[in-house]
Amino acid sequence: MNTVTRPRILVVGAGFAGVECVRRLERKLSPDEADVTLVTPFAYQLYLPLLPQVASGVLTPQSIAVSLRRSKKYRTRIIPGGAIGVDLKSKVCVIRTITDEIVNEPYDYIVLAPGSITRTFDIPGLTDHAFGMKTLAEAAYIRDHVISQLDLADASQDPVERASRLQFVVVGGGYAGTETAACLQRLTHAAVKRYPRLDPGLIKWHLIDIAPKLMPELGDKLGSSARDILRRRGIEISLGTSIAKAGPEEVTFTDGRVVPTRTLIWTAGVVASPLIATLGAETVKGRLAVAPEMNLPGDDGVFALGDSAAVPDLAKGDGAMCPPTAQHALRQGKHVADNVIASLRGQVMKPYVHKDLGLVVDLGGTDAVSKPLGIELRGLPAQAVARGYHWSALRTNVAKTRVMTNWLLNAVAGDDFVRTGFQARKAARLKDFEYTDAYLTPEQVRAQVEGAGRPE
């Protein structure tokens, strides 16, 4: 047992689930009842659903990066770093700090909310040439990259180079991919007017998905409305298609087409953070298998939620698990805090139940489709619901004000096409943005915890 008298609660990850959990623990527990610590590589909570709007420049990056230190009331100790392994037996979390030091952090209760990473497949060239849409750095990088393609195509005298720089491929017809393709197509469509030497007809966006439908959660009618909007805007949609091979200057589709392009954006789903595999515990499709109370059966004081956990979806039944959405992560965050407190006070924990409220899809400008509480909406009403929902879900008034101001500014002044160049010479592979190679194996975790060796 620990040497301090108060139980130590360690929360891993400052996303929707982690932050919601920490804030509730701070509110409901007296400072004498427990010490709360949060491990997070960044000093903000990222509002991921608005990431495509950062990539397209409608919103500034700062406006969706909600500060973790807005209020004096926040008393949680924050460790700047990433958890790279958890040893359940000795109740220690191994952390790599932002200065690359490895520290062992003991806990009595651990709440695992490290989210997910981009799911990739064994496709030649994919991890070297694709960009993801999961981090703020990726969104900012893609924005610069897309604008630089216009700049370079404009300067080039070579028609082949021009054609390849002006084609863009997005893989993944879920909401992340669809919104990304829609928002960025709007950007290039508006930007090309500032490049009189470029033929707008050369700009081509492809949205492809191996599934037979875009965003099947929308249902047939709304799904086909979304498809019509995108096709009207000139986005070529190919369903039942994926990538066979990716190279620096072209991508080969599984239907045999070879598309000359320097831009491959990969949003074909997510998998749980690699942190989960370090536990050596049971998983369901890579997500930690937890009980409806979000605790790990058989391991006292271990909880997991959000994208990294397979939380049974009791509202749906039939053995379903909750989909990886912000809607669930947020509510699970509150709920898991209550269960940690219940466990700490020797009370009964409650199972998590939440009925899906629907889906909102912002396709840029006044284009949107939404299905709140099963009601199908298109155009302006859908856009009002989509933006209203996201706006109200932002945690702080400062973030709300920044986002609203950005939207108003964009509506009045239009897009801008500034290429910042901040990351121009930086590595741009998926693993560089998502740190997927930072984690330890379960054996390395044990060795680190026992002090038998220091991982590289």
Contact residues toward ligand FAD (CB under 6 A) are: 12-18, 39-42, 46, 48-49, 51-52, 82-83, 113-115, 133-134, 175-176, 273, 275, 306-308, 324-327, 329
Measured CA to CA, the distance from residue 364 to residue 370 in angstroms comes to 13
**β-strands 116-118, 270-272: how paired?**
antiparallel
Complex with ligand FAD: residue 15 or 173, whichever CB lies closer:
15
- By the 10 Å C-beta count (0-12 exposed, 13-18 middle, 19+ buried), 170 is classed as buried
Minimum distance of ligand FAD from residue 52's CB (angstroms):
6
Minimum distance of ligand FAD from residue 308's CB (angstroms):
6
Minimum distance of ligand FAD from residue 83's CB (angstroms):
4
Measured CA to CA, the distance from residue 131 to residue 62 in angstroms comes to 21
Complex with ligand FAD: residue 16 or 253, whichever CB lies closer:
16
Minimum distance of ligand FAD from residue 151's CB (angstroms):
25
The C-alpha angle 368, 67, 331, rounded to 5 degrees, equals 60
Measured CA to CA, the distance from residue 38 to residue 45 in angstroms comes to 12
441 close to 142: Cβ distance less than 8 angstroms? no
Complex with ligand FAD: residue 176 or 368, whichever CB lies closer:
176
Complex with ligand FAD: residue 51 or 58, whichever CB lies closer:
51
Measured CA to CA, the distance from residue 165 to residue 368 in angstroms comes to 28
DSSP of 32-95, one letter per residue? Answer: TT-EEEEEESSSEEE-GGGHHHHHTTSS-GGGGEEES-S-TT---EEEEEEEEEEETTTTEEEE
Complex with ligand FAD: residue 42 or 195, whichever CB lies closer:
42
Coil/strand/helix, residue 217: helix
Nearest to 41 by CA among 102, 84, 1, 97: 97
Complex with ligand FAD: residue 153 or 352, whichever CB lies closer:
352
Measured CA to CA, the distance from residue 337 to residue 22 in angstroms comes to 7
DSSP annotation of 295: B
Complex with ligand FAD: residue 113 or 246, whichever CB lies closer:
113
Complex with ligand FAD: residue 18 or 173, whichever CB lies closer:
18
Complex with ligand FAD: residue 198 or 394, whichever CB lies closer:
394
Minimum distance of ligand FAD from residue 194's CB (angstroms):
27
Minimum distance of ligand FAD from residue 267's CB (angstroms):
7
Neighbours of 316 (CB within 10 A): 15
Minimum distance of ligand FAD from residue 440's CB (angstroms):
11
Distance of CA 426 to the CA centre of its chain: 21
Neighbours of 89 (CB within 10 A): 10
Minimum distance of ligand FAD from residue 104's CB (angstroms):
14
Minimum distance of ligand FAD from residue 208's CB (angstroms):
17
Distance of CA 16 to the CA centre of its chain: 10
**Which residue number is nearest to ligand FAD in terms of Cβ?**
15
